[in-house]
Structure formats: structure tokens, C-alpha cells
Structure 1
Amino acid sequence: MLLTSLPTTQFRHGRMVRVVFLHPDLGIGGAERLVVDAAVALKSKGCDVQIWTAHHDPTHCFSETLDPDLPVVCVGDWLPTSVFGYLHALCAYLRMIYVAFYLVFFSGLEYDVVFCDQVSVCIPVLRLSRHRKKVLFYCHFPDQLLTQRKSALKKLYRAPIDFLEERTTGMADMILVNSQFTAGVFRETFRSLKGVQTDVLYPSLNTRTFDRPPAEAEGTEGLVPERTSHLFLSLNRYERKKNLGLALQALAALRSVLTPGQRAGVHLVVAGGYDDRVGENVEHYAELKELASQLHLEDCVTFLRSPSDSVKVALLRACHAVLYTPNREHFGIVPVEAMYCRCPVIAVRSGGPLESVADGETGFLCEPTAEAFSQAMEKLVAEPRLRGDMGRAGRKRVQDKFSLQAFSQQLHGYIVSLSQ
């Protein structure tokens, strides 16, 4: 159902700020988690909030988006996401342009600020509004760096898209990034925007899901063998850039140096977002299953696709460490989730984990090799007390640096400043 107006509430200048979020696909992922948390945060501050998107599947989404008090408006899902498996970026751009065009010209919606992320090409359309609205763009990472250009045809196809990304990003009234690492990459990538200010707003952790008493949460029964004494967890979408194969290779390397008794108690769960509509998810899941077979790990690896929030929390509480394998990840909320659950993190020594994980205190930062990861895993197997020590330190680090309260306060300040 399309909502034509947002209720007006009072704040010091006469009415509350009305915010619309524009996001391409409201599925399950780090970017989606941030958008939902941002919407919830602003709502907790009294803002009127709607989320507009080109796709929202009630069976494949975060539970907060099913709350009638947080309206989600889906338009343009009839537009293709690809053309015969190609042109994904172009289709994403067209879908977001359609969402923005519908918002501006057909919705009749009154709003003050638009929060958009991932796809900046919708910003010029938002500028066409009769009464110019302020636009906040949240840059998770430059889109042009998330795809490879192995052929001349791909380079030719991406050239105008990359140009549009840079030009339209610069049209936002305010630009936020998710880490100091991304801020540096932003300046290196968008050279014409060097004079544009970018503020860092770290993603927060909405701890409501994680704070449920263990008695009310699901357990890991049926997910891992009963004999498991050391459980490791990989938690990422089934995408090749997440380097999930490294977790399997690290497990194989670890098993090769353990005693038979220790080896029998070690298990790995590979869990993450999975969408049947996304060809890469389907293909990479099959690739990982095949790799596990080649490494003779079938009996000590469990693959989970799109686990529920309660299952994810149960795994984080039970595991001895999270293996976070992406290289040069712009931020990554998984290490923060793990640390809040008192779980050590073994991550690649690059990108966002350099800012979220304290090496040697809340986990280990390693080179992206099976040997380096397996050595960190072996320490946790050999020294059981490390899990408790690092877990307590991780929980405190999240509470100090990545609390929802701090995130909400900072984001609300940006939104109010834009609306004045």
C-alpha cells in the first residue's frame, strides 16, 4: 500500500523532520542492516520515517521492515535486475531512477530529507522536486571498485556508469562514509570531489536481537555435531568477493596440525545471505560445497543459507571465533556483532577490521592466507582462556565505540542540520 503522507509531529521549530530512505534492494546484507538501523534510530528520535525500495520480500528481509510502524514502500520491482544475466549495474541504476522519479512526481509525499545509499544516480532526479529537498548520501564504498573489468567491453560499459557515479555523488548536500578507510578510498577514487567534506559515521549495532536471554533464543542443536568442542563461524553473503573459500582452507590447514582427538571436536559453520534470484549466490554456494569435498571437510562443515536472526545469535554465542575473510572490506558489521556476543574475531588485516578489531585484544588480524588464519585458530584451540578474555574485551569495545545510542545521536544531528 502506498502511503501519501507522513504524520506531522512537533519539534522545536514547529514540526518533526520527515525522512525518506531510498535503497535499491531491501534484502539481507550489511548495507541493508545499516539502512534499517538508521531508520529505526531516527524513528527513536521522533522522526517520521519511510523506506522506499525497488524490492522487498517479506520472507527474505530483516524483521524490523515488517513492523507497520516502519512503512516500507516498494515500487519498480517489475523492472529487470539484469538482461540475460548481464548489465546488473545498469539495471540497478534504472530501478533507482524509477523509484526516485515515482517519489518526486507521483507519490504526493511530503518530506524534508532523503537518505540514499549505494546508488547515487537517483540524486539528480530528487533535485527535480518542486521544493528542493536536502539529500544525504551514505557511501559504503565506491561502486566502481566492487566490480572487475577483465575485458575491453566491460571497461567500455562501466566508463559512463563510473562517470555518473562520481558526478551524482558530488550532488548530495551531505556525504557520510562508514570508516576512515572508506574516506581515504573515496578521496582516491573520486578525484574531482577532493574538496568535498566526508564525515565518518560508523555503523552501529542494534543490540535488541542480541540481548534476548539465552533461554528465549534458539540453540545450535541440529546445526553442528554433538561432539563439537571448538566451533568456528564464517558469516558473510555467498559472494566470491567475500573470500569464503579461505575459511575452508584455513580449517583444512588447522586440522592437519591437530591431534586426532582435537580434530574430531573442530567444526566450521559457513552461514550467510543467500538469494535464489542472484546467480552468483547459487553458483558460489555450489563452488564452496565442491571445495569442501575436495578438502575432505564434508563431515566438519555445515553450510547455512540466510539463517534467521535467532540462529545467527545462537551461533555467535556458541562459537569460539568468527572467521572474517573479505580483503579490504570497507567496514563490515559482522566483527562488531561477534564482539558484542563476546566472540573473538579472526579477520584479514585490511580495511574496516583495522578500525573495528583490536589485534591481540578482541581477536587477531591476519594476512589473507590459510596458514595465518589457521595459526590464529590454533591459538584459540590451545589456549581456552583466550576466548573469554577476548570476548570480554570485544563486548566492551563495541559498547564504547559502536553503540546504537552514539550512532543515533550523530545521525539525528546530521539530519536536523540538513532540514534547517
Structure 2
Amino acid sequence: MEGTRCPRLKVAIIHPDLGIGGAERLIVDAAIELASRGHSVHVFTAHHDKNRCFEETVTGNFQVSVYGSFLPRHFFYHFHAVCAYMRCIFVVLCVLLMWSSFDVVLADQVSIVVPLMKLKRSTKVIFYCHFPDLLLAHCKTWLHRMYRKPIDLLEEKTTGMADLILVNSRFTKSTFASTFRGLHLRGVEPAVLYPAVNVKQFGQHCSYKPNFLSINRFERKKNLQLAISSFALLSSSGLNSYEVTLTIAGGFDTRLKENVEYLDELKKLAKDLGVADRVKFITSCSTAERNTLLSSCICVLYTPKDEHFGIVPLEAMASKKPVIACNSGGPVETVRHESTGFLCEPTSSEFAKAMLKLLSDTEFVARMGEDARRHVAETFSTEIFGDLLNLYVLDAYHRGIE
């Protein structure tokens, strides 16, 4: 694209639920960065609770429109995938009928958006794949497998119709190739666009109180029980355990049955392991509360196994805090072992061993924290993310034009 004038484009971003998870953080950052580069950005979603969202979706330099919030997320806690498709189809139909054409559409998570938005042939569509949805569905019965079969086939077919496919890590890229084999054989290869953090948002000054922090949604796949069992094992060692605490904070939605049930399970586990008085649970903390927690903890425990990427380790390292994470998935690409944190096998003994190392040497913790912030600033800043995303958007726009 050398010598090509960089136009200001009309960009639509379509995301199913604008909550406060890692996927939503990426979408918000994408909107901010594209708008800051002169593009007209409009985010469309099926749900946006102004009391439970990232502040920039209310105060940012882009518009947010909501269509279909009345549609169900599930039917008696079943058919989540069908409901997600239905809500996104409704959003797209509203966009097609009520708004003029967009130059580029960034579709996130639900690929059914892709062929629908391409009904307007002048529109180029980028699909951001956090992870193949068919791998996230746990089909335990033949009936569920029959239900998922057409959805899974549709996912691969519609994903392949995008003008450009982006993924969030090399781990997801390899999983994409092994999962969507038909696309891989056709030569369809996604590009990697790492999520990022605004390093300036996290203050330079911090303390290292003996509090371990876990930040994640209250979902079973986040493996939060590992943080509690590791903390309990650490507490049974020779240190003065009553001075050390654990805080588990993260996204919590009362509309989601799993969130409610899992929080109760975690509280019971802490009680059964005898550490309930030193484990604090914080649900749906604001950005300011999260930053305060990050600024004063000794490190962040990141417990998901085979996580597709994981934005929390970046936020922790930007706050000058080392990260203890599982040695798999996205954290392998973001955390430098024994430099910005520890990559461990997902066992309480390995996590507790790393936790004890940090507690025994605060100067070591501070050095890791400095290395961690420098690492994020050089590799995972929002400026780097925005520059690369802008190039991808312009590339998609110019396809078929030159």
C-alpha cells in the first residue's frame, strides 16, 4: 500500500455483549484507537449496561448503539449459541436497514455477522476470532452434538467468508488451523493481532503488600479454585500466614447462572480449606477499583489453563506486578519466565512454590515489576496495537480497489 493515501473510513464494530471481559476490552481499545486515527467509528451491540461496562463506552470518542437487548440469552439455561446467533442477526439487520453503508466492518466473536454484512458488496469485513467457538462447547450427549453440528459447520463456513481474519495469539492461530481444516487447506491463514493495554493508565508508583490478587470472570473455565488451593497450601507453610491474604476479583453477572453458582462453590472451597477469613471476593469491580488492587498487591495469579490470550497478565505487568500463570496458551507469549513472572504447571504445589519465592524477597519482586512494565510498553501497548489494527483496516478496505 506504499504511496496510497490513507482515507478516513466509516468503521462499524459489531460485538454481541458490551460487558467488561477481555474480549470487550479489546473491542473498546479498537474503537478508541481507530477513532484517534481519524476514522468514524460506531459500535453496535445487543447489550450495553451503562452501570456495568468500560467507562470509555459511555465517555469515549465513538458512538454505541444497542439493538435487541430484549432478546433472550438462553432458554432455560440452554441454547446459548442459538440465542447469540439470533441476537447478532437482529443487530446486523438493524444496521443494514437503519444505517448507510460502512467502509469496513470489524465483526467480533460471532461469525454469522460476516456474510450478512457482505450483502452490501462495497463493505469489507474483518473477523476477529478469539477462539473457535466449537471448541468452547462441551458436548456431553449425542443430542447436544446433533444440536451443535450445524452451528459448527456454519461457523467455519461464515468465518472463511471474511476479507481478513485476525486472531489474538499464535496459540489461537495454530488452533485455528487444526480446527478449521477446510479453511487451512484453502490457504486461509489468519493474522495475529495481540490485545493490548494502555500502559499510561497504570501508575508508576506502587507498593507490594502481602496480598495475592486474582482477576477473572467467575467462570469455571477460569480455574479460580487453583488460586484458593495454592493460597491454602502456602498458608500451611512456615510463614506467618495471617499476614498474607488473597483477593479474587472479576466480572460477575447475576444473569448468568454459572457466575452465581461458581462464586458459591469458591466461597465453600475457601471455608473447607480453612482460609475463608483471609480470602476476599470482589464482584464486578470498576476500572478504578481494579487499578487500586493492582497497585498494592504483591503479584497476580492467573489460573486459566490453555487460555487463548489473557489480558490480565498484561494489566498486571503494566502495574509493575509479576504474574504467576499456567505454562500454556497465551501467557506463554506474554509472560517471560523468571523475568516478568513465573510460568508454572497448573498445580497448587507449583503455584505455591512461586508465591513463596516472591514473599521471601521483595527486592526481587520490585525488579521483576520494573522488567514487566518495560516489557509491556515495548510489545503490548495500545499504540502498537492501534498502528497494526489501522494497517489491517486499510488493507481490507483497499482489497479489490487497487
TM range (shorter): over 0.9
Amino acid at match of 2:353: Q
- Cα deviation, 1:84-143, whole Å, max 9, x if unaligned, reads 111011100111111111111x213231000011100121111222x4310001111111
Which residue pairs with 1:225 in the alignment?
Answer: none
Distance 1:238 1:210, change over 3 A: same
Q: Does 1:109 align with 2:81?
A: no
Identity %: 48
CA distance in structure 1 between the aligned counterparts of 2:238 and 2:216, rounded to whole angstroms: 26
Unpaired runs of at least 5, structure 1:
1-11, 220-227
Instruction: Please give the TM-score of this superposition, normalised by the length of structure 1.
Output: 0.91
Which residue pairs with 2:34 in the alignment?
Answer: 42
Aligned residues between the structures: 394
Contact 1:209/1:310 (8 A) holds in 2: no
Q: 1:395 aligns with which of 340, 349, 373?
A: 373
- Cα deviation, 1:262-301, whole Å, max 9, x if unaligned, reads 2111100000001111111111111111111111111110
Which residue pairs with 2:334 in the alignment?
Answer: 356
Amino acid at match of 1:144: L
CA distance in structure 2 between the aligned counterparts of 1:165 and 1:211, rounded to whole angstroms: 41
Q: 2:188 aligns with which of 192, 196, 217?
A: 196
CA distance in structure 2 between the aligned counterparts of 1:246 and 1:349, rounded to whole angstroms: 14
CA distance in structure 1 between the aligned counterparts of 2:124 and 2:241, rounded to whole angstroms: 57
Distance 1:230 1:14, change over 3 A: closer
Distance 1:110 1:208, change over 3 A: farther
Which residue pairs with 2:46 in the alignment?
Answer: 54
Which residue pairs with 1:9 in the alignment?
Answer: none
CA distance in structure 1 between the aligned counterparts of 2:148 and 2:238, rounded to whole angstroms: 48
Which residue pairs with 1:232 in the alignment?
Answer: 212
Cα drift, residue 329 of structure 1: 0.3
Q: Does 1:209 align with 2:201?
A: yes
Distance 1:110 1:14, change over 3 A: farther
Which residue pairs with 2:18 in the alignment?
Answer: 26
Which residue pairs with 1:311 in the alignment?
Answer: 289
Amino acid at match of 1:135: V
Cα drift, residue 206 of structure 1: 2.1
Amino acid at match of 1:254: L
Query: Equivalent residue of 2:199, what SS?
Result: coil
Q: Does 1:249 align with 2:239?
A: no
Cα drift, residue 198 of structure 1: 1.0
Q: 1:413 aligns with which of 391, 394, 397?
A: 391
Any residues of structure 2 matched to 1:4-153 within 5 Å, and which?
16-67=8-59, 69-104=61-96, 106-129=97-120, 131-153=121-143
Amino acid at match of 1:126: M
Contact 1:209/1:309 (8 A) holds in 2: no
- Cα deviation, 1:339-369, whole Å, max 9, x if unaligned, reads 0100010000000000000001000000000
CA distance in structure 1 between the aligned counterparts of 2:167 and 2:61, rounded to whole angstroms: 28
Q: Does 1:292 align with 2:270?
A: yes
Amino acid at match of 2:103: D
Q: Which moved more, 1:293-302 or 1:49-58?
A: 293-302
Contact 1:274/1:306 (8 A) holds in 2: yes
Query: Equivalent residue of 1:205, what SS?
Result: coil
Contact 1:342/1:392 (8 A) holds in 2: yes
Instruction: Please give the TM-score of this superposition, normalised by the length of structure 2.
Output: 0.95
Distance 1:212 1:25, change over 3 A: farther
Contact 1:229/1:265 (8 A) holds in 2: no
CA distance in structure 1 between the aligned counterparts of 2:229 and 2:192, rounded to whole angstroms: 35
Query: Equivalent residue of 1:313, what SS?
Result: helix
- Cα deviation, 1:239-260, whole Å, max 9, x if unaligned, reads 000000000000001011133x
Amino acid at match of 2:297: C
CA distance in structure 2 between the aligned counterparts of 1:265 and 1:94, rounded to whole angstroms: 50
Query: Equivalent residue of 2:98, what SS?
Result: coil
CA distance in structure 1 between the aligned counterparts of 2:271 and 2:100, rounded to whole angstroms: 54
CA distance in structure 2 between the aligned counterparts of 1:337 and 1:229, rounded to whole angstroms: 18
Cα drift, residue 376 of structure 1: 0.3
Which residue pairs with 1:333 in the alignment?
Answer: 311
CA distance in structure 1 between the aligned counterparts of 2:371 and 2:199, rounded to whole angstroms: 17
Contact 1:97/1:122 (8 A) holds in 2: yes
Contact 2:11/2:40 (8 A) holds in 1: yes
Amino acid at match of 2:169: S
CA distance in structure 1 between the aligned counterparts of 2:190 and 2:309, rounded to whole angstroms: 16
Query: Equivalent residue of 2:270, what SS?
Result: helix
Contact 2:205/2:295 (8 A) holds in 1: no
Which residue pairs with 1:182 in the alignment?
Answer: 172
Any residues of structure 2 matched to 1:266-305 within 5 Å, and which?
266-305=244-283
Amino acid at match of 1:242: K
Q: Does 1:377 align with 2:368?
A: no
Cα drift, residue 208 of structure 1: 4.6
Distance 1:122 1:378, change over 3 A: same
Cα drift, residue 381 of structure 1: 1.1
Amino acid at match of 1:322: V
